[in-house]
Chain A
Amino acid sequence: EVQLVESGGGLVLPGGSLRLSCAASGFTLNSYLMSWVRQTPGKGLEWVAHINQDGSEKYYVDSVKGRFTISRDNADNSLYLQMNSLTAEDTAVYYCARLAIWSFDNWGQGTLVTVSS
């Protein structure tokens, strides 16, 4: 059974940093592109970033470019999202999601990131 389990969310001050992790199991991580997707009540679902199988290609939504970094450790079956210079607009539930045929076929349960003073 495919499982994706996010961790690392929490309350952070504006301008602060947070690192999200996603532990993958039940499939061969290095065979798949992986992604982070976030959701807010106001903006709905938003793709944040994705990374190819060996980590050599990374793509980001414009609003996080230069602030967020997606990475992966296939040997450790893990996906990461380093988030710097956080603002209130980054407050959301962050999902780790597996990509297949350009759709997100498996999702984690999500981790809540709250940026507030």
Chain B
Amino acid sequence: DIQMTQSPSTLSASVGDRVTITCRASQSLSNWLAWYQQKPGKAPKLLIYKASILETGVPSRFSGSASGTEFTLTITSLQPDDFATYYCQHYKTYFPAFSFGPGTKVDIQ
């Protein structure tokens, strides 16, 4: 089974910082990889799908990229509204199933 890992698990940052979160898979994945933002008590919100496509309405400071088994979410200039937990999610095409990474919490330094 494909295992998803995220690093770091927690990240302390300041407003204006460039932030990078990495999602790695135990084996090569398709580009069916999505990123979500979740705030306490709220449902996750889709930010990026198919590894690098920005969901409608999501600010352009968010971006995604892929390289082999490594996927990256970058926030170019962290804003107060961005302090949250971020999850990656993969879709496994050969057996219809989805898996989520364990999450990365971005908090205020």
Interface residues of A (CB under 8 A from B): 35, 37, 44-47, 50, 59, 61, 95, 100-110
- B97 pairs with A61, CB closer than 8 A: yes
CB-based nearest A residue for B95: A59
Indicate whether B28 reaches chain A with its CB closer than 8 angstroms: no
Interface of A (DSSP majority class): strand
- The size bracket of the interface on B is 20 to 34
Q: Complex: how many Å from CA A102 to CA B43?
A: 18
Known pairs A35-B98, A45-B103 / 14 extra A-B pairs, C-beta < 8 Å = A37-B98, A45-B89, A46-B100, A47-B100, A59-B96, A59-B97, A101-B49, A102-B34, A102-B50, A102-B91, A103-B89, A103-B91, A104-B89, A105-B46
CB-based nearest A residue for B30: A102
Query: Are A108 and B43 also in contact (CB < 8 A) when A45-B100, A47-B100 are?
Result: yes
Query: Are A50 and B44 also in contact (CB < 8 A) when A44-B87, A103-B49, A104-B34 are?
Result: no
- B46 pairs with A103, CB closer than 8 A: yes
* A residues less than 8 Å from B98 (CB atoms): 35, 37, 47, 50, 102
